[in-house]
Amino acid sequence: MDALVQKGYAKPAPAEETPNRTWYLPHFVVINPMKPDKLRVVHDATAKTHGVSLNDTLLKSPDLLQSLPGVVPNEVSTTHDSSNGGYNRDVYAGQIETSGPRRSPIPLEE
C-alpha cells in the first residue's frame, strides 16, 4: 500500500467519522510465479454490498467490436492466375522464408 500512496493512487482513510455514503472497494493480491517479488493489487469492482456493485453503477459504453457471426458470412474476392496451373514455376524450395516480427519455426528445405 505504501507504493500506491507514494505514487498518488491511494491515500490513507481519515480517522474521523466517515459520511453515510461511503463505499469500500475490496482488493486482493495476485502473485505471478515468474515474478514472486512483485505483488499486483487487484480491486474487486464486482463485489456487491446490499445487492449493488461498483460495476453495476458505472455507465455502459457501446460495444465497438463487430460480432463474429456478422463478419464470417461476408464474401471474399480472390484472383488466380491459372495460365501456369496455379504454380509459380520460377520459385524453388529454399527461396521463400516467412518474415515479420516472428520467424517461422519450420526451417527451409535444402
Q: Which amino acid is at 80?
A: H
Place of cell 464474401: 75
End-to-end Cα, the chain, rounded Å: 59
**For 42-72, how does the pLDDT look when each residue is reduced to its tens digit (9 = 90+)?**
888 889 988 988 888 888 888 788 777 776 6
**For 1-14, how does the pLDDT look when each residue is reduced to its tens digit (9 = 90+)?**
788 788 887 888 77
Which pLDDT score is estimated for 35? Answer: 92
What is the C-alpha to C-alpha distance for residues 101 and 67, in angstroms, rounded to an integer? 28
Give the H/E segment covering residue 71. helix 68-71
How much is the pTM? Answer: 0.43
Domain ranges of the chain: 22-56
Which pLDDT score is estimated for 97? Answer: 45
